[in-house]
Amino acid sequence: MTTESPVTIRHYRIEDLSILRQITVDSFGSVALDEMLEDRLGVWNGRTWQERKADNIDEDCTLNPAGCFVAERDGLILGYITTRVDLVNSIGLIPNLAVVEQARGLGLGRRLIHHALDYFRESGLKVAKIETMTSNVVGQNLYPSCGFAEIGRKVHFAQRL
């Protein structure tokens, strides 16, 4: 009988970026605002929703690389979480979280969230925020189970120019 190696959570490294971009594109799909925009408005500037959504990860990893973490087993990245830190207002934000399909249901999303929350606490922050689309059933269930409370809802409007 073989035993799987444990999943570890480590800091993001620049060489992880292409994998994180791919996990993002594979994971978000119908729950991505960027896909909803494209469904309604079509493609513009020759860039798909996948490219725009993956660009968010580039931005997250550039703005706060110390707050980006990956879940890994035997050198294979199974998921990630990105964070932003507002020290002036003492708020931590989790802009992106994704777990590869074959690793879903193992509690990795929850572990990544708790890791990010610990990072926020260690940074002396007082509030943590996370957002999700109403179409993201996983997020709608996971985030409250990790201690988040719904504060309000945002409605997105867009038009083609």
Domain interval for residue 73: 8-144
Structural domain count, the chain: 1
Count of CA atoms in the C-beta half-sphere (13 A) of 136: 19
- Number of neighbours of residue 51 by Cβ within 10 angstroms: 14
Tokens representing 20? 């994180």
Where residue 119 falls (left for φ over 0; alpha for ψ -120 to 50; beta otherwise) is: alpha
Assigned domain for 154 exists: no
User: Can you tell me whether residue 73 is helix, strand or coil?
Assistant: strand
Assigned domain for 62 exists: yes
89-139 pLDDT, tens digit each: 999 999 999 999 999 989 999 999 999 999 999 999 999 999 999 888 999
120-129 pLDDT, tens digit each: 999 999 999 9
Assigned domain for 152 exists: no
| pTM score | 0.92
73's CB contacts (< 8 A; 6+ apart) are 4, 5, 6, 7, 8
Instruction: Answer whether 77's CB lies under 8 Å from 108's CB.
Output: no
Assigned domain for 47 exists: yes
